[in-house]
Structure 1
């Protein structure tokens, strides 16, 4: 009984990064689309580490991939596959192709290969080894590579879910190397064998691999295997339309995490880079899974838009659990060498809800909470000291008395008390508000007056006022 065709099997997608550096945002978007499509169809999302470059594929680089996917919340459904451990299976597949006549041993010497390349360039064709049609019985005793015996006539068609039908002329596709002289497999061979044996039904990846799809299709055919469904995603460009590079800012997933973006905001934003659902800009994971279809991905490159990312991140910061945000803010402060005390954590947790509405990142959120961590007595900047005229000091002294009598230390009650005090003084809040903010925050960013007072707490707020209003010794 023959194996069921791809159309009859559950969807299996994969992400197959190489552990040779940081995890690029393009890889993250590809992982997300694979994850979404697998979840949408009730299938599986798999992870393969393409670690055949042994010099560059370090344990640290592998961990970067694991950490990036974990931070994004894109968990694979099975244990990761390491490509380097499967070399024997790759070689066995080549043996099968040799037996089927879809591959051949090429004994050209480096000098002969260079001469053939020169001739091929002059004749405007791809390299063709004379060993393609020679009998193996005539093989010399010297090193060889194994090449795909690609068809010379006709076309190879890629029915791509994003790009549409793409046609490659077979005369332009060379007999690519499958095994090197040292017996190690090449990229295109390893990918085909691994995808087939992992049961991958849909290969969703960047469109820089579109040419590989033609070559890999020929390998599938040479092995007598069914070709997967192809979907090649457009690249991500910078805001200026040029290919994303360092000059556009962050490129790696870890950089976005370090810059204070939340993973749920990144998932929402990355989903919008090349795909969308009507006019919906903000949507939960459950909605994205319900709506996503790979056929709806647009073919044009997407542009990184920092303003939109910041808008989304602000939304998710405002929606996030306060305890979670407090923990993130505390870690940021620690990374900046703040010596946090145990008593600072409840103060931060009290402050975060009062300052998060204006924060585009958790770094900005941390900046907005610095004022509650400063130790008394605060050193006021010169501009703040200039606000403390004799008249203002007297007014703040009277306000301190009002605040001392305030029982409900809450934003609404304190706002009422401050407004009533201003009326009793016959002045606007602007006559003393900036000076009060300076006294409470010492020149650091802070929320509105009532919010600053609540953040600091009654004891600390009155103490900071006393530090300024008490006569110098």
Structure 2
């Protein structure tokens, strides 16, 4: 048997962390057994589906390297196939037309809830012999007796009584098929052997199995993954910006870090934290996937991305740095030494966005200083201190680390300052911050011209006003 799995998102919003984990587990399972991974876009909901989300799904999987072997298949192109299946079910008395109004369905539900009964359709139209021309849906005639039993690859045996299941709608009043019908037809047509999806689909599974049995279609094996909750312990949604995969792509996270983080949200192998793609394929097992829910932890994701940021080559980081700046319309100084900047800053950062933002004063002029910092660390000194600093920087022959360190030590002693004092003074002037790498490294990277320009700017914009 050739193993075939699928990832079948609906294009009604951007993919989030939970969606991608489902895609990853499905992809890994197929690759582990030299099988096929299929991409299907479930876009029959014409009111909510959008082509830009379909494009996003495809682009995201490509970015992550989760290449599909077949597809992408679009459900919207198979409407006639679904209608043929629905007509077959009607002919074989496995389905019927339901003419109940929305108001009747709502009242029925309210009455059942008042009686503390499980809300379900009461089969009012099941045995109608006269067909009407009025608006209607089509329902699958679910068996009333017996049970549905299936072996879940994650949760073990799951049993449903048919008496607890209602007659699910398989065609809407607008003539379009519903999810529960489309999904089983698509899985059958593409010979899916294993359906790996979220646990929110568990209640759909017995209904789908009953439809499969009525059609005499092969029933695939199921694996229902636990939900991932956000930092507020609620289930993820496509509108949750913290777990929207697009956010992390834009912020300069690496595909490897996303996949490494996701594989361990519900699965683990000993105490190993970082996996190559080959290790993921070799070690992954559905039997090792835990049943309990996992919680999204941004700090953990940042830690993993920090690992990759410091592992990737400097040349590649230069490319990514430039790409981020171009996308965000950030103009860099000419002849800026990006390699040295990245070497200096990368250990302090977790992603490309942080890397670019943390060293902004090295590629961009400071136009507005933090006045509170100036008052505390700069304006406490007289103008002579700044003029003498300019003079000494001009006299410095070799713009090298050793010479600058020696100069700062002598200057601090001659002016009765500590090294901390002179460092903080220059740090605020040169970076508009009290946090930065070693100030001598900043001085070297800025160069004599920019250092003198910023000291002069402070004199002209602030010292003269004191």
**TM-score normalized by the length of structure 2:** 0.83
**1:405 has 2:398 as partner:** yes
Per the alignment, residue 151 of structure 1 pairs with: 143
Per the alignment, residue 170 of structure 1 pairs with: 162
Secondary structure of the equivalent of 2:217? coil
Q: 1:40-439 alignment to 2 at 5 Å? A: 40-101=32-93, 103-106=94-97, 108-110=99-101, 114=105, 117=108, 121=112, 124=117, 126-129=120-123, 132=126, 138-143=129-134, 145-244=137-236, 250-334=242-326, 337-340=329-332, 343=334, 346-375=336-365, 382-383=374-375, 385-386=378-379, 390=384, 394=388, 397-398=391-392, 401-402=395-396, 404-405=397-398, 409=400, 414=401, 416-421=402-407, 429-439=419-429
Structure 1 442/109 Cα, relative in aligned 2: closer, same or farther at 3 Å?
closer
Per-residue CA deviations over 1:102-131 (Å, capped at 9, x if unaligned) read x13335453996599479936957435366
The alpha carbon displacement at 1:25 in A equals: 2.1
Whole-Å Cα distance in 2 between the matches of residues 107 and 467 of structure 1?
79
RMSD: 3.6
Whole-Å Cα distance in 1 between the matches of residues 317 and 54 of structure 2?
28
Contact 1:348 1:369 in 2 (8 A): no
Structure 1 stretches lacking a partner, 5+ long: 1-7
The alpha carbon displacement at 1:95 in A equals: 3.4
Secondary structure of the equivalent of 2:5? strand
Per the alignment, residue 20 of structure 2 pairs with: 28
Corresponding residue to 1:37 among 29, 37, 55: 29
Contact 1:160 1:166 in 2 (8 A): yes
**TM-score normalized by the length of structure 1:** 0.82
Aligned residues: 450
Structure 2 stretches lacking a partner, 5+ long: none
The alpha carbon displacement at 1:284 in A equals: 2.3
Contact 2:180 2:208 in 1 (8 A): yes
The alpha carbon displacement at 1:391 in A equals: 5.3
After the TM superposition, which of the residue ranges 254-263 and 327-336 deviates more from structure 2?
327-336
The alpha carbon displacement at 1:392 in A equals: 7.2
Contact 2:18 2:236 in 1 (8 A): no
The alpha carbon displacement at 1:17 in A equals: 1.0
Corresponding residue to 2:9 among 17, 27, 37: 17
Per the alignment, residue 456 of structure 1 pairs with: 446
The alpha carbon displacement at 1:50 in A equals: 0.7
Contact 1:387 1:435 in 2 (8 A): no
Structure 1 112/73 Cα, relative in aligned 2: closer, same or farther at 3 Å?
closer
Structure 1 437/119 Cα, relative in aligned 2: closer, same or farther at 3 Å?
closer
